[in-house]
């Protein structure tokens, strides 16, 4: 049984694409990105873009779109027992069609990965198949908002996300260096 991702949340004016790996079980049940209540994603988006968890899901999506933020996952589908990224069965991963997405969203100038697993899957399964012009988009690996990544305090996660999303030129470029974490403030 393969879990499947949701359609991307984006409009034609998107500037930043935030990628997770694959929706977790709570998200799949609720059909919402980052629906697990202990995931810090919406709390961070609330602080940065007014798209906090207190708003209805559709309003959160609108806030992201109005701020030029697109949201999607690296995996179109994959086998994963449970919700942990470490449980993704690599041989089962079918990546999303990023060449088509980027071609239809030419303003994307930064891809931010929500955690190291999304960055690794993108680097290994997506990047080699992209046209050269699409491999030059700046990237940054951000601290995972997952409750499984609880070792980093919320305020530090928020600072690192803000550093990259509010100053996208700080992001690393995949073509000249490995996908890496945003610099510490």
pLDDT tens across 48-92, in order?
999 999 999 999 999 999 999 999 999 997 767 766 666 566 777
Mean pLDDT (the chain) is: 85
Apex 63 CA angle, 105 and 74, nearest 5? 45
Q: Report the distance separating Cα 20 and Cα 102, nearest Å.
A: 16
**E strand or H helix that includes residue 75:** strand 75-78
Q: Rg (Cα) of the chain, in Å, rounded? A: 15
pLDDT tens digit string along 120-130? 999 999 999 99
Identify whether 114 is a catalytic site residue.
no
Among 39, 96, 167, 170, the active-site one is: 39
What's the whole-number mean pLDDT along residues 99-109? 95
Asked whether residue 95 carries a pLDDT value surpassing 70, the answer given is: yes
């Amino acid at each position: 049984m393969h879990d499947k991702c949701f359609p991307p949340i984006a409009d034609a004016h998107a500037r930043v694409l935030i990628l997770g790996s694959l929706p977790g079980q709570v998200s799949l049940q609720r059909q919402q990105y980052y629906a697990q209540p202990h995931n810090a994603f919406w709390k961070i988006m609330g602080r940065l873009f007014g798209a906090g968890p207190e708003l209805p899901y559709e309003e959160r999506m609108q806030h992201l779109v109005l701020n030029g933020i697109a949201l999607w996952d690296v995996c179109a589908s994959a086998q994963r027992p449970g919700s942990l990224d470490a449980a993704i069965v690599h041989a089962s991963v079918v990546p999303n069609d990023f060449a088509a997405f980027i071609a239809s969203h030419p303003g994307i100038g930064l891809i931010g990965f929500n955690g190291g697993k999304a960055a690794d899957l993108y680097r290994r399964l997506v990047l080699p198949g992209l046209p050269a012009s699409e491999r030059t988009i700046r990237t940054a690996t951000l601290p995972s908002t997952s409750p499984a990544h609880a070792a980093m305090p919320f305020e530090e996660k928020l600072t690192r996300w803000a550093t990259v999303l509010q100053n996208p030129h700080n992001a690393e470029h995949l073509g000249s260096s490995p996908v890496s974490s945003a610099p510490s403030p």
